[in-house]
Amino acid sequence: MALVILLAIVGRTVANEFQGIRRSKCQQSRDRTQIYEGVDNVLMKRLQALRTEMRTRTSTQSAELDAYIVPMYDEHQSQYLMESDQRIRFLTGFSGTAGEAVVLMRSAAFWTDERFLDQADQELNCAWRLFRTGERPSVAEYLLSELTPEARVGADPQLIPHPMWKALETDLTADYIRLVHINRNLVDMVWGSRRPAPRSGAIKVHPVRFAGERWDSKVARLRANLTALRCDGMIVTSLTEVAYLLNLRGSDIPHVPVFKAYLLVTHRELILYTNTSRETLGLKNHLKAHSCHNENCVQLREYGDVWRDLRTLAQHWHRLLVPSAVVFDTGASEAIHATLPRNIVFERPSPIIFLRAQKNQVERQGMRQAHIRDGVAMCEVLSRMEERFIAGDHITELSLAREIDQARKTQNNSEGVAFPTSVAYGVHSSRPNYTPSNRTNVELSEGMVLIDSGGQYEDGTTEVSRTLHLGEPTAEQIRAYTNVLIGMIRLSMLTFPENLKPAELDALARGPVWGSMNDYPHGTGHGIGSYSAVRESPISISYTAKQRFTFKEGYFFSNEPGYYKTGAFGIRLENVLEVVDTGKMHPTGHKFLAFQDVTLVPFEWKLIDRTLLSVPEKKWLNDYNSRIRQYVGSELKRKHKMDAFYWMMNKTRHVPEYVTEAEYNGAAKLHRDRVSIAGALTIVFLLGRFVYY
Final residue in a domain of this structure, among 130, 165, 194:
194
Binning pLDDT at 50, 70 and 90, where does residue 659 land? low
Q: Looking at the structure, do residues 468 and 600 belong to the same domain, yes or no? A: yes
Final residue in a domain of this structure, among 355, 384, 418:
355
Structure confidence by residue, pLDDT tens digits, 174-210: 888 999 999 999 999 999 999 999 999 899 999 999 9
Q: How many residues does the chain have?
A: 693
Give the CATH number of the domain where residue 372 resides.
Answer: 3.90.230.10
Q: Looking at the structure, do residues 180 and 327 belong to the same domain, yes or no? A: no
610 domain residue, yes or no: yes
Q: Looking at the structure, do residues 87 and 230 belong to the same domain, yes or no? A: no
80 domain residue, yes or no: yes
628 domain residue, yes or no: yes
Q: Looking at the structure, do residues 215 and 152 belong to the same domain, yes or no? A: no
Which stretch, 5-14, 365-374, 425-434, has highest mean pLDDT?
Answer: 365-374
Nearest to 443 by CA among 386, 395, 388: 395
Mean pLDDT of the chain: 90
Q: Looking at the structure, do residues 143 and 49 belong to the same domain, yes or no? A: yes
pLDDT average, residue stretch 325-354: 96
Q: Is the pLDDT of residue 690 over 50?
A: no
- Domain residues for the domain of 265 are 204-355
User: Quick check: pTM over 0.85?
Assistant: yes
Q: Is the pLDDT of residue 5 over 80?
A: no
Final residue in a domain of this structure, among 327, 355, 383:
355
Q: Which residue has the higher pLDDT, 38 or 165?
A: 165
Q: Looking at the structure, do residues 525 and 549 belong to the same domain, yes or no? A: yes
Q: Looking at the structure, do residues 161 and 255 belong to the same domain, yes or no? A: no
Q: Looking at the structure, do residues 636 and 589 belong to the same domain, yes or no? A: yes
CA distance 675 to 670: 9
Q: Looking at the structure, do residues 333 and 385 belong to the same domain, yes or no? A: no
Rounded to 5°, the CA angle 576-577-583 comes to 165
- For 308-385, strand residue ranges (E) read 320-323, 345-348
Q: Which residues contact 554 (CB under 8 A, 6 or more apart)?
A: 357, 358, 359, 360, 363, 364, 578, 579
pLDDT score for 678:
43
CA distance 593 to 584: 8
Q: Which residue has the higher pLDDT, 9 or 466?
A: 466
pLDDT average, residue stretch 75-79: 94
Domain count, the chain: 3
503 domain residue, yes or no: yes
328 domain residue, yes or no: yes
Q: Is the pLDDT of residue 18 over 70?
A: yes
CA distance 299 to 82: 26
The maximal CA–CA distance of the chain, rounded, in angstroms, is: 82
99 domain residue, yes or no: yes
563 domain residue, yes or no: yes
C-alpha distances (whole Å) from 209 to each of 220, 268, 327, 329 are: 19, 28, 30, 28
pLDDT average, residue stretch 137-148: 95
400 within 8 A of 385, measured Cβ to Cβ? yes
Binning pLDDT at 50, 70 and 90, where does residue 481 land? very high
Give the CATH number of the domain where residue 118 resides.
Answer: 3.40.350.10
692 domain residue, yes or no: no
Structure confidence by residue, pLDDT tens digits, 83-121: 999 999 999 999 888 999 999 999 999 999 888 888 899
Structure confidence by residue, pLDDT tens digits, 289-332: 999 989 999 999 999 999 999 999 999 999 999 999 999 999 99
pLDDT score for 20:
86
pLDDT score for 499:
94
pLDDT average, residue stretch 664-683: 48
Structure confidence by residue, pLDDT tens digits, 209-265: 999 999 999 999 999 999 999 999 999 999 999 999 999 999 999 999 999 999 999
660 burial level (CB within 10 Å; 0-12, 13-18, 19+): exposed
pLDDT average, residue stretch 600-604: 98
